[in-house]
Amino acid sequence: MAGGHAAFNPEPVADFVDAAVLGDGEEVVLAITEVVREWKTEGRPGGRDGLLLRLAASGGVYVPRFYDVDYLPDGRIRAVAPNRDGVPWRIHKHTVMDLDSWPYPKNPLVPLAETVHERYSVEIFRGCTRGCRFCQAGMITRPVRERSITTIGDMVQGGIERSGLDEVGLLSLSSADHSEIGAIAKGLADRYDGTNVSLSLPSTRVDAFNVTLADELSRNGRRSGLTFAPEGGSERLRKVINKMVTEDDLIRTVATAYSHGWRQVKLYFMCGLPTETDEDVMQIGELAKRVIETGREVSGRRDIRCTVSIGGFVPKPHTPFQWAGQLDHETTDARLAKLRESVRSDKRYARAIGFRYHDGKPGTIEGLLSRGDRRVGRVIEAVWRDGGRFDGWSEHFSYERWAVACERELAREPVDLDWYTTRDRDVDEVLPWDHLDAGLDRDWLWEDWQDALDPDGAVEVEDCRWTPCFDCGVCPQMDTEIQIGPTGKQLLPLSVV
Ligand code: SF4
């Protein structure tokens, strides 16, 4: 059984899994267990298929073998339809509506070896309604549901006691957006003042950063680097992706950070976003130079650093960009080489700006897996038979192996690697995941895609946490609602002083 975010398009692995579950696992795993238990008690009627049929009929589990995919002569999908009675046409995601009832993990496993993220992670809320158009995580986990400050405090306390870890990560898609993040950070910093326990947030939105928060988080620890993700180099492109951050916002934020003692800022960007030109990507370099300039000015020091990290954009199912053609890897590489050259050749900044990016080829294969259909399963199998393992690690990844497998396995189909990746889709095309329901209204997604492409400049969408609902469809479809604080509660000291 597969789950997690990638299960929102499990079609490329449909031949290798019995079932996929969409959305939050906490409650549905119990419902599944119940079905399995009943089936066993009754003497396993129908064998494996009998059990899968029961799970499929429950409406909450997608069993690919009970659906037939029919193709048009040009390779697009004509229809996906159930091939058994009692199996629903659409499968819906699960949404847990009270995260406080699920304060897990309570007893985290502690590995014997040192791991990369050696910290106790507490998910402080789920979902994000900022509406970044590239972001699958934000789209498929709507609506926003916060954990309360008191549950977070209890989870941190229990997690530290039971695991022995001394770093706590307060995780979510945009942690500084929690309605009580200030009180949470201060409360935890007070509780663990003078101990070895340190707190961290993942990357912070430029517009949500504030010094008090950053100070609280670094009270017990080092003042390490700060990470922001403007994602798009130019203001125009940030509007296209609905990341409402201006260059001035960013400069103001980094100025605050540098003047309060931070020396390092890390900035994340993407290359290959829809409508992007060379010029948009070159703006990343200009922005980084302005960041360094500002840092030197406000701190009066020369040892200011800015690391620019760039990933290739891969269009994802269930997002407004699901219809977009992906940029080919040759153009991605050429654009990034040009940017690197312009940063390196400017002696005033070359040593202060770190530059990290990967070549575009892995992104093309990610694109194949991201929006592929069942025919891609043959390619995956061929790569595996040819020795492909751990392809996410660059030292094991072979683009050639994938390209050859695509050519061989798709030779009799009217489709190929380009067809899956660089091709624009239109509104009428049946997408491989259209029968899997993340709650988002398809028409809304399409309109949002058109808003991104508006020739008069992209139209932006606000965050429905603080503005009226803009009808993305999730809440009525899933019978859910936004749950945010503030609760007004405080974290009390752990022991009476
Ligand atoms: S349905 Fe409305 S309130 Fe709910 S997530 Fe979508 S836009 Fe926000």
Range picked from 12-21, 246-255, 296-305 for highest mean pLDDT: 12-21
Name the residue of 475, 479, 481, 484 whose CB sits within 8 Å of the most ligand 1 atoms, as the mutation to test its pocket.
475
Q: How many CB atoms lie within 10 A of CB 181?
A: 26
What SS3 state is found at 96?
coil
Counting from 1 in the atom list of ligand 1, the atom nearest the Cα of 144 is 5
pLDDT in tens, 424-445: 999 999 999 999 999 999 999 9
Task: Give the mean pLDDT of 306-333.
Answer: 97
* Nearest protein CA to atom 6 of ligand 1, as residue: 472
pLDDT in tens, 85-115: 999 999 999 999 999 999 998 888 888 888 8
- Return the pLDDT at 216: 87
- What's the CA-to-centroid distance between 477 and ligand 1, angstroms? 10
Name the residue of 469, 477, 480 whose CB sits within 8 Å of the most ligand 1 atoms, as the mutation to test its pocket.
469
Model confidence at 497, in pLDDT bands (50, 70, 90)? low
CA-wise closest residue to 123 among 140, 139, 108: 108
Q: DSSP letters of 421-434?
A: HTPPP-TTSBPTTT
Q: What is the 3-state secondary structure (H, E, C) of 280-339?
A: HHHHHHHHHHHHHHHHHHHHCCCCCEEEEEEEECCCCCCCHHHHCCCCCHHHHHHHHHHH
Counting from 1 in the atom list of ligand 1, the atom nearest the Cα of 127 is 5
Model confidence at 496, in pLDDT bands (50, 70, 90)? low
Average pLDDT over the chain reads 94
Name the residue of 126, 130, 142 whose CB sits within 8 Å of the most ligand 1 atoms, as the mutation to test its pocket.
142
In this predicted structure, the answer to whether residue 135 has a pLDDT above a threshold of 70 is: yes
Name the residue of 474, 480, 482, 483 whose CB sits within 8 Å of the most ligand 1 atoms, as the mutation to test its pocket.
474
Domain map (residue ranges) of the chain: 5-92, 94-222+462-497, 227-238+260-371+413-437, 376-409
The answer to whether 228 and 209 have CB atoms below 8 angstroms apart is: yes
In this predicted structure, the answer to whether residue 208 has a pLDDT above a threshold of 80 is: no
Counting from 1 in the atom list of ligand 1, the atom nearest the Cα of 477 is 1
The answer to whether 63 and 18 have CB atoms below 8 angstroms apart is: yes
Model confidence at 486, in pLDDT bands (50, 70, 90)? very high
* Nearest-angstrom CA–CA distance, 231 and 326: 16
- Return the pLDDT at 471: 95
> 208: phi > 0 → left, psi -120 to 50 → alpha, else beta; which?
alpha
At the topology level, CATH places domain 94-222+462-497 in: Transcription Regulator spoIIAA (3.30.750)
* Nearest-angstrom CA–CA distance, 484 and 351: 44
- What's the CA-to-centroid distance between 142 and ligand 1, angstroms? 7
What percentage of the chain carries pLDDT values higher than 70?
99
* Nearest protein CA to atom 3 of ligand 1, as residue: 469
Range list of H helices, 345-432: 361-371, 376-385, 399-409, 417-421
* Nearest-angstrom CA–CA distance, 293 and 213: 25
- Return the pLDDT at 447: 98
- What's the CA-to-centroid distance between 317 and ligand 1, angstroms? 19
Task: Give the mean pLDDT of 338-351.
Answer: 93
- What's the CA-to-centroid distance between 482 and ligand 1, angstroms? 7
- Return the pLDDT at 56: 97
Residues in the ligand 1 pocket, defined by CB under 6 Å: 129, 142-143, 464, 469-475, 482
What percentage of the chain carries pLDDT values higher than 90?
85
Counting from 1 in the atom list of ligand 1, the atom nearest the Cα of 473 is 1
In this predicted structure, the answer to whether residue 178 has a pLDDT above a threshold of 80 is: yes
* Nearest protein CA to atom 5 of ligand 1, as residue: 143
pLDDT in tens, 355-387: 999 899 999 999 999 999 999 999 999 999 999
* Nearest-angstrom CA–CA distance, 175 and 178: 6
Model confidence at 222, in pLDDT bands (50, 70, 90)? low
Model confidence at 493, in pLDDT bands (50, 70, 90)? confident
What SS3 state is found at 469?
coil
CATH 3.30.750: does it fit domain 227-238+260-371+413-437?
yes
In this predicted structure, the answer to whether residue 462 has a pLDDT above a threshold of 60 is: yes
In this predicted structure, the answer to whether residue 220 has a pLDDT above a threshold of 80 is: no
Name the residue of 135, 173, 472 whose CB sits within 8 Å of the most ligand 1 atoms, as the mutation to test its pocket.
472
Task: Give the mean pLDDT of 25-49.
Answer: 97
- What's the CA-to-centroid distance between 324 and ligand 1, angstroms? 23
- Return the pLDDT at 245: 87
- Return the pLDDT at 211: 82
- Return the pLDDT at 116: 81
- What's the CA-to-centroid distance between 59 and ligand 1, angstroms? 23
In this predicted structure, the answer to whether residue 187 has a pLDDT above a threshold of 90 is: yes
